[in-house]
Structure 1
Amino acid sequence: MEGCTMRGWFKTTVVATTVLAGTLGTGLSAGTANAAEYELRMAIIASENSVYYEDMAKPFVDLVAQLTDGRVEIEILPAGTVGSVLKLHDAVSDGLIDMAQTTPVFLGTSDLVNAMVASFPTGLGVDSYLPWLYQGGGLELWQEHRREKMGMHALVSALGPSEFFAHANRPIRTAADLDGTKFRTLGNWAAILEENYNVSPTVVAGSEIYGMLEKGGIDLAEYSIPSENQKIGFHEVAKYIIYPGIQAPTWAFETVMLNETWESLPKDIQEKMALAAELNTHRSLQTMIVRDLKTMEELQAGGNEFIRLDDAFMADAQEKSRAWAMKLAEEAEAKGDDLPMRLVTSVFEFQDNWRRNGKYLVMDTRE
């Protein structure tokens, strides 16, 4: 597919009268009679054999094609196609690509909204995040930030379950066990660890983690969900698997495009793309959880030792994580930006309400 022309965020093509389903491109279903009216290029953060492609990007693209009856065709650009995967928001802003499916975590912690809207240490989990996002005002705050601060429209298009806390070369249960360690992590959790637990955050690419664990260059590392970590093989070089993943109780990905791109699309296309994103968010979570259950069964039957974090440490981590977020929100508010404080208030109040009043809900997890 051709690249974007200057300030040309999508290309309208001539509608064909009869086109075989196999010639329509990515994701179009059989029986579709017309060629795509809108062709978009979407960069992602990983390769085609990753969870980010298989469970997040490809299903979203297919749903868009299906729900729009083939009017929208999205080409997926794997990692390495468009510069650094850490800078895909910039690539959208610069008009190099039409869309990106990525994480706000890569935008750093200077803006608290980016640091906590998609995932926050000790924050909303797999049970409470979706209700907050779709019924508790979370999506509206997310989209307001993208629209007003970045000139973009955001579709939350995927959701992942809890990660492992870490693969480690030493047992980790308490805050004292973390003291003086080198911990591969990034973003908000790196800042919280460094400020409160005498940890040296080590920010390296995922491709470097295996070797560093194997050679002792780091003591522990967090990366992703159980099935993705197993695929990479971290359990082969680190004896201990630490859980639960309080640093990433759940994590959402967004698909972003310029406001002008979004506003140029017909209203019915916007509605169908938004629906595709919401459907994919629900489906991606379920797909990954089911795969992770199988992974957990396999890993627990292997030679690794599973260690659960101490309750006192998890409570302390929540207190310190909230204090970190509140400090940034207050600093932003003092400068006239109230959105971070509105987000902090929304997340913390929803989580507290969930814990107070969700006791009637039956949860199958027992540990």
Structure 2
Amino acid sequence: MNLKTLFMGATAALALTAGAAAAQQTTLRIQTHHSPEAPSGQLAQEFVDNVEAMSDGEIDIEIFYSSAVVKSAEAFDAAASGILDCDMTNGSYQTGKNPAFQFVADVMGGYDTPLQFLSWITYGGGAEEINALYNAHGMEFVGAWVGGQESLNSTKPIAGIEDLKNFKFRSPPGMESEIFASLGAKPVVMDFTEIFTALETGIIDGADASSLANNVGLGIYDVAEYTTYPGFHSMSADHLACSSSVWDSLPDDQKQILKTAMNELALKTMMRVLVDNGEAKAMLPEKGVTLHDWSEEDRGQFRAAAKAAWDNWATKTPETESIVNSHKEFIERIGLGG
């Protein structure tokens, strides 16, 4: 073997060693409030698998389902403080910090489809609005995923506005509670994981949980015999948000992998919910579940109450005003105003 061959071999070996040294191994501890059996939990696992495959194992994700580490509302702070690395729950849990978090998660009465909301994030300045809010609390917004309008569930009929009178139901914290209270309901804020037991024991009459198919996965229709479909009241977007310090420590290629995987998760969620909801709609009447499709008049009354709440909330903090105005401008821009 001549000196040139030896030199070339040594150079190649050094390059491989340098490349191996440059590859950053990352472990992310992520909590979601979804169960592994629910459609959203299955999609979250697909996200994990995609990230690990695209990173060729450089990113390893340990995911905790059903809020196994901390309560759902505590996951955001747990990530910011280092107990977790990322939060895969929902921004509405953080409205106590700033009312603006409500409009990161759910613009009630605003958008008709998940694609419209996601378009606001990507093309309407939404990502910048969200990160201005999240960064102030030590977190980075990575992406959102939302399947569509959710379905209210109940142990008694909820065929329209009149049935909301004295309707005691689980509500997430934030604006939703105020809207339904203004329409005569009695919202009760409780953790997502407590819904089934509260329904089963009669603590509540109903619940705002998730989409029709997710509600099936949660076992809610084993207890609740009435539901609204198609949904109208809420289209709540879950997020992936990571500790700012963790995010800043990631190399650019790993950041892009996480963002790309979130975009795929968002698309798959829309498609999966479309299919699963259709199958659930066909199956539930056979189980004795009644589906209530609210009238245009009742839907309009709800939407009016929701929009009044927007304006009220916009006065609470400068961040809320900014994000509400951003939504209003985008809604007009895509022709949903009026």
Decide whether aligned partners of structure 1 residues 213 and 268 sit closer, same or farther in structure 2, where only a CA change above 3 A counts: closer
Deviation of the 1:70 alpha carbon:
2.2
- Contact between 2:29 and 2:84, CA under 8 Å: does it hold in 1? yes
What is the aligned partner in structure 2 of residue 141 from structure 1?
A: 129
Note if contact 2:40-2:269 (Cα within 8 Å) is conserved in structure 1. Answer: no
Cα–Cα, structure 1 residues 356 and 261, in superposed 2: closer, same or farther, change >3 Å? Answer: closer
Alignment CA distance shift 1:109-1:198 (3 Å): farther
Instruction: Tell me by how many angstroms 1:218 deviates.
Output: 3.0
**CA shift in 2, pair 1:308/1:150, >3 Å:** same
Contact 1:330 1:341 (8 Å CA) reproduced: yes
For residue 303 of structure 1, the aligned residue among 279, 288, 294 is: 288
- Measure, in 2, the Cα distance between the counterparts of 1:233 and 1:327: 36
Aligned partner of 1:86 in structure 2 is 73
Matched residue count: 317
Between the aligned partners of 1:119 and 1:224, the Cα distance in structure 2 is 12
Matching of residue 278 in structure 1 with residue 258 in structure 2: no
Give unpaired runs (5+ residues) of structure 1: 1-15, 18-33, 358-367
Structure richer in helix, relative to its length: 2
Matches of 1:306 and 1:292 in 2, distance apart? Answer: 12
TM-score by length of 1: 0.78
Provide the rounded CA distance (Å) in 2 between the counterparts of 1:156 and 1:303: 38
Distance (Å, rounded) in 1 between the aligned partners of 2:225 and 2:292: 10
Question: Which string of whole-angstrom CA distances, capped at 9 and with x for unpartnered residues, describes residues 198-233 of structure 1?
Answer: 221123344544454455543332211111212333
Matched-pair identity in %: 23
The equivalent of 1:77 in structure 2 is: 64
Q: What are the residue-to-residue correspondences of 1:320-335 with 2, within 5 Å?
A: 320-332=305-317
Quote the offset at 1:103 in angstroms: 0.6
Q: What is the alpha-carbon distance in structure 2 between the residues aligned to residue 73 and residue 62 of structure 1? A: 9
Match of 2:276 in 1: 291
Which residues of structure 2 form unaligned runs of 5+?
1-15
The answer to whether the Cα contact below 8 Å between 1:168 and 1:221 also exists between their aligned partners in 2 is no
Partners of 1:172 and 1:45 lie apart in 2 by 29
Q: Could you say if the C-alpha distance between residues 41 and 282 of structure 1 is closer, same or farther in structure 2, counting changes exceeding 3 Å?
A: same
Give the equivalent residue in structure 2 for 1:222.
208
CA distance in 2, matches of 1:78, 1:129: 25
Q: CA deviation at 1:91?
A: 0.7
Instruction: Map 1:1-367; keep pairs closer than 5 Å.
Output: 37-56=25-44, 58-108=45-95, 111-124=98-111, 125-147=113-135, 149-174=136-161, 176-187=162-173, 188-194=175-181, 196-214=182-200, 216-248=202-234, 250-332=235-317, 337=318, 339-356=319-336
Structure 2 distance, partners of 1:130, 1:305, is: 31
Amino acid at match of 2:281: M
TM-score by length of 2: 0.84
Contact 1:36 1:70 in 2 (8 A): no
Larger CA Rg, structure 1 vs 2: 2
Q: CA deviation at 1:110?
A: 5.6
- Answer yes or no: is the 8 Å Cα contact 2:134–2:141 preserved in 1: yes
How far apart in 2 are the matches of 1:356 and 1:214? 39
From the superposition, tell whether residues 59 and 157 of structure 1 become closer, same or farther in structure 2 (CA, over 3 Å).
Answer: farther
CA distance in 1, matches of 2:137, 2:197: 37
**Which residue of 1 is the match for residue 9 of structure 2?**
none
Contact 1:109–1:115 under 8 Å retained in 2? no
Could you tell me how far apart the structure 2 residues matched to 1:171 and 1:38 are?
48
Q: CA RMSD in A?
A: 2.6
CA contact (8 A) 1:225 1:292 kept: yes
The answer to whether the 8 Å contact 1:45/1:52 transfers is no
Instruction: Tell me: CA distance 1:262–1:228, structure 2 relative to 1, closer, same or farther (3 Å).
Output: same
Query: Is contact 2:73–2:191 with CA below 8 Å preserved after alignment?
Result: no
The code of the aligned residue for 2:166 comes to G
The alpha-carbon distance between structure 1 residues 48 and 115, as it changes in their structure 2 partners (threshold 3 A), is same
Q: CA deviation at 1:146?
A: 0.9
> Residues 343 and 209 (structure 1 numbering): CA distance in 2 closer, same or farther, change over 3 Å?
same
